Structure 1
Amino acid sequence: MADSPVTLLDARLVVRRGEFRLDIGLRIEPGETVALLGPNGAGKTTALRALAGLAPLQDGHLVLDGRDISELPPEERPIGVVFQDYLLFPHLSARDNVAFGPRRHGMDRRSAHAVADRWLERVGLAEHGRRKPRNLSGGQAQRVALARALAVDPVLLLLDEPLAALDARTRLETRGELRRHLAAHPGATLLVTHDPLDALVLADRLVIVEEGRVVQEGDAATITARPRTDYVARLVGLNLYRGRGDGHSVAIADGLALTSTDTVEGDAFVAFPPSAVALHPHRPEGSPRNTWAAVLADVQRHGDNLRVRLDGPISVAADITPAAAAQLHLEPGRELWVAVKAAETRAYRA
């Protein structure tokens, strides 16, 4: 790999697919893992295919390690890809799967097998080199696919939902192993996922995509503390509203303003977790700030608690204990009072 510039990947990807248009910018530094996160249909896989050379750019640019690769065919791009279903060659052993890339790049059979053996050892599969993919577990197949992608010393590593095909237990174990391998990768890594836990655990930075556009990006702490769309708010488990800030108050609906300890002026977001919401059968005494009447719409189990959704001037989610639910006699259509402490409410510029 050549001496890396400060930005290893510098891309603007513009791809049209029928009525859908992807237009996003991506910059990744050496050794950095960026997660491209978004709902189904947001354009994540389209972006990955454009980077890999499997979908042509209609506009934009694609510079990797200081070199424009936008016109290069997939096989000539210094990129390794781990697809969602791994796509291992079923007729080849694990060893030959990993050796395939080095062989394709001109390495002789013996040297390619030596590279494959080293990578299989690094991913903990040194004793499984002769097995065919059908004789590997899901977690083992994922590690072979990762070894195959890394065996060509890629400048850019692309991971397309790399843990989606695994069961919950294997996913937990493999996530930790994958994090270790990504930390050791000197190149750039792009992780495409719809799973927020994968993104938060594996990535240094998150890029949120909705409807073909980047709607928010930053580190996990920034994203989780200050969501900017309903999708991101649901992702991190916050109630989010947009309104007009005037000091410590944000007007978010006709007749309803929320008070925060934060100060904000003009277009603003206000957010708070469901755990910050208290429910009362009657209007709280003393008329504390951030209270309003609401109607119970839905109740669902949420871990050890209950997630309650209420309609009113705004729709809000609240987490309460089963004991509290019993005291409130919850049933759809029941009228309740909602209270949210100002100290647990975050307000920030839109």
Structure 2
Amino acid sequence: MRTAGHDANRRTSTGLRAHVVVRRPAFDLDLDLTAGPGEVVALLGPNGAGKSTTLRALAGLQPLSAGEIHLGDRVLDRPATRDYLRVEQRPIGVVFQDYLLFPHLSALDNVAFGPRAHGVPKAPARAAAQSWLERVGLADVAGARPRALSGGQAQRVALARALAVEPRLLLLDEPLAALDAATRMDVRADLRRHLSAYDGTCVLVTHEPLDAMVLADRLVVLENGRVTQQGSPAEVARTPRTEYVARLVGLNLFRGHTDGAGEAGAAGVVRLADGGELTTGRRVAGEVFVAFAPSAVALYGSAPGGSPRNCWQVEVVGVERHGDLMRVRLTGRPPVLADVTADAVADLGLQPGARVWASVKAAEIRCYPA
């Protein structure tokens, strides 16, 4: 998306500023969210984290329990002062997970519906809709009803319908979830191109890390109703701070402590919170995270020679295919994931219950402050 970044003052003065608080008997959502013009922010998290509730609150479909939502200089929702802007009054476009196209209307009239609902006469609204269908490459299906459209075409019609009202805020709720894997790749690239040309603010909800990494400028990770990490896709992928994020980006992650003694930047021993220790290639004092890829883990049938710094005995819990490799889940101190070849699985007898040795080079372990 925008690689040069965005001015912070512009983000807060003309973009989205929200403190979303929604309280229910079994759920409590509380997060701060900002997004600037031309910026795509992805809310990423597991099912039940509060992503869709946040989106519904921004759209006006879920009243706040507390907090406030500002879009530019307009207050959309602020319970403390009883300010609330109705759904139809908000300058917002929404693409729902199932698209929710009107089945009795053509693609053209689906896109024209928004402008018509905002008081634009029929002819200009249909002309604007035709222009939007051309922009998303669907001019040739303008007369088709939703049931005649492919999943990718329906997604683009839904996007055109949302953008046809020229919204200042675009909300995308799992916009690629209804697509098969083959279609998703093409539509993802298409959606990225359209979002790059959109100068409004966009909030994307997804549980798919690849969608978030490709489409968003900034990730906000939501777990159990709270923000647990945020940053650029590269920052989040490089320095995960929760087990959920580590799983998303495919890393082994542990929290621990180092006394920081010795030469700064030199190798240091991290004592892990759940037992065991790891030597890293770079010393960081105090509470730290250590992370390394499953591909960095070597497995041996017996203790390897040469006394590598990080070597410990583990037990195989399970083995599953992972792309061209096999991912081995191992318990020990610490427990790890290892990616090995199918030949290695056979040669080492990596079946559940088998005991082997794991080794990781200190230089392969990333260490950063917790």
TM-score under structure 1 normalisation? Answer: 0.97
Paired residues in the alignment total: 347
Which string of whole-angstrom CA distances, capped at 9 and with x for unpartnered residues, describes residues 276-301 of structure 1?
00011111112211111111111111
Which string of whole-angstrom CA distances, capped at 9 and with x for unpartnered residues, describes residues 117-159 of structure 1?
1000001111111111111111111000000000000000000
- For the 8 Å contact 1:282–1:336, the answer to whether it is kept is yes
C-alpha distance in structure 2 between counterparts of 1:6 and 1:228, whole Å: 26
Q: Determine which of 322, 327, 336 is the counterpart of 2:356.
A: 336
- For the 8 Å contact 2:314–2:355, the answer to whether it is kept is yes
Any residues of structure 2 matched to 1:1-350 within 5 Å, and which? 5-7=10-12, 8-70=15-77, 71-247=84-260, 248-252=268-272, 256-350=276-370
C-alpha distance in structure 1 between counterparts of 2:22 and 2:99, whole Å: 24
C-alpha distance in structure 1 between counterparts of 2:297 and 2:105, whole Å: 56
- For the 8 Å contact 1:88–1:97, the answer to whether it is kept is yes
- For the 8 Å contact 2:11–2:34, the answer to whether it is kept is no
Which string of whole-angstrom CA distances, capped at 9 and with x for unpartnered residues, describes residues 149-204 of structure 1?
00000000000000100111111111111000000000000110000010011011
C-alpha distance in structure 2 between counterparts of 1:173 and 1:294, whole Å: 42
SS in 1 for 2:281: strand
SS in 2 for 1:100: helix
Shift of 1:212: 0.3
C-alpha distance in structure 1 between counterparts of 2:25 and 2:172, whole Å: 25
Query: Structure 2: which 5+ residue stretches go unaligned?
Result: 1-8, 78-83, 261-267
C-alpha distance in structure 2 between counterparts of 1:152 and 1:253, whole Å: 52
Query: Which segment is superposed worse, 288-297 or 49-58?
Result: 288-297
C-alpha distance in structure 2 between counterparts of 1:319 and 1:97, whole Å: 48
C-alpha root-mean-square deviation of aligned residues, in Å?
1.2
SS in 2 for 1:268: strand
Query: Structure 1: which 5+ residue stretches go unaligned?
Result: none
C-alpha distance in structure 2 between counterparts of 1:5 and 1:228, whole Å: 29
Percent identity (aligned): 62
- For the 8 Å contact 2:275–2:334, the answer to whether it is kept is no
TM-score under structure 2 normalisation? Answer: 0.92
Shift of 1:261: 1.4
- For the 8 Å contact 1:280–1:337, the answer to whether it is kept is yes
